[in-house]
Amino acid sequence: MAQPYIPGYRETAYELSDNGFSIVESIYSTNEVQNILTAINRADTTKETFRKSNDVFAIRQFLKEVPGTFDLIFTDKLRSVIRQIMGDRFFVVKSIYFDKPETSNWYVSYHQDLTISVDKKVELENFGPWTTKQNQFAVQPPIDILENITTIRIHLDDTDENNGALRVVPKSHVKKIYRPETINWAEETETTCCVGQGGIMLMKPLILHSSGRTENKRRRRVIHIEFSDRELPPEIQWAERVNLN
């Protein structure tokens, strides 16, 4: 059965391409958000991919570690967003869950997301540098691979400038590798991406973005999922590839 067309997504696709980000509210109902949170709360938190501190609780390889969330996340409505904005060939390449507690002092300065997760480390031209986090290989790939990726951030709480909403530099994604220390604030502007519970933020990984500390004693829980339709060189594979079809 064909998925329903929901007005506005073509405009969202244009905004994502032009500015490097876009926000779509009300993708999930309050009940759907609660079902996702219930599945997360049932997860085994003792694994290496779970990071726990006073400032953040994070789950890397989220869809793999908490598989019960998959059908709850990929509803007909989200699939319609993905299809209309990205097309039919995109698949998941990375997933992370972030929980910034009510008293978090976790601050993330301006940066671009410059690495992808792969299954092994091999020497490849134009791939590098390499890093390893929690037994997961990550590498900076050629710029065209990064430009192809689209991220969807699913907001499980109301998020604004007081509890860690992302701040972005619009259009910075078109400037290739853009070092934060070279930002010219006389020319650039900053936008705070406030998103309601159940809404999503779409962004290009090359957009400069940052996140502030929590100041209003409210949690900020977000599921971060990256998508691509690009195949990697045969020597390596996407570490977290999940096909949606």
* Whether 120 contacts 236, CB under 8 Å: yes
* Whether 3 contacts 83, CB under 8 Å: yes
Higher-pLDDT residue of 134 and 12 is 12
Amino acid 20: pLDDT? 98
Contacts of 190 (CB under 8 A, 6+ apart): 167, 168, 169
For residue 229, give the H/E element and its range: none
Write out pLDDT tens, residues 80-110.
999 999 999 999 999 999 998 877 777 899 9
Please say if the pLDDT value at position 26 is more than 80: yes
> Quick one: tokens of 60?
């890397």
- Residue 240: inside a domain: no
Amino acid 90: pLDDT? 97
What global pTM score does this model have?
A: 0.93
Rounded to an integer, the average pLDDT of 116-141 is 94
Average pLDDT, the chain: 92
Write out pLDDT tens, residues 189-216.
999 999 999 999 999 999 999 998 888 8
Amino acid 1: pLDDT? 41
Q: How confident is the model at residue 154 (pLDDT cuts 50, 70, 90)?
A: very high
- Residue 241: inside a domain: no
Please say if the pLDDT value at position 56 is more than 70: no
Higher-pLDDT residue of 66 and 51 is 66
Please say if the pLDDT value at position 241 is more than 80: yes
- Residue 20: inside a domain: yes
Number of domains in the chain: 1
Domain range holding 148? 9-228
- Residue 233: inside a domain: no
- Residue 239: inside a domain: no
Please say if the pLDDT value at position 53 is more than 70: no
Q: Tell how far CA 129 is from the center of its chain.
A: 21
Indicate the residue type of 109: S
Mean pLDDT check: name the lowest of 71-75, 102-106, 154-158.
102-106
- Residue 236: inside a domain: no
Amino acid 133: pLDDT? 79
* Whether 167 contacts 193, CB under 8 Å: yes
Amino acid 110: pLDDT? 97
- Residue 244: inside a domain: no
* Whether 229 contacts 89, CB under 8 Å: yes
Long-range contacts of 35-41 (CB under 8 A, 24+ apart): 35/72, 36/69, 36/72, 36/73, 36/154, 36/156, 36/223, 37/156, 37/221, 39/66, 39/68, 39/69, 39/72, 40/66, 40/69, 40/97
- Residue 144: inside a domain: yes
Phi, psi of 238 (to 5 degrees): -60, 130
Amino acid 139: pLDDT? 98
CATH number, domain containing residue 19: 2.60.120.620
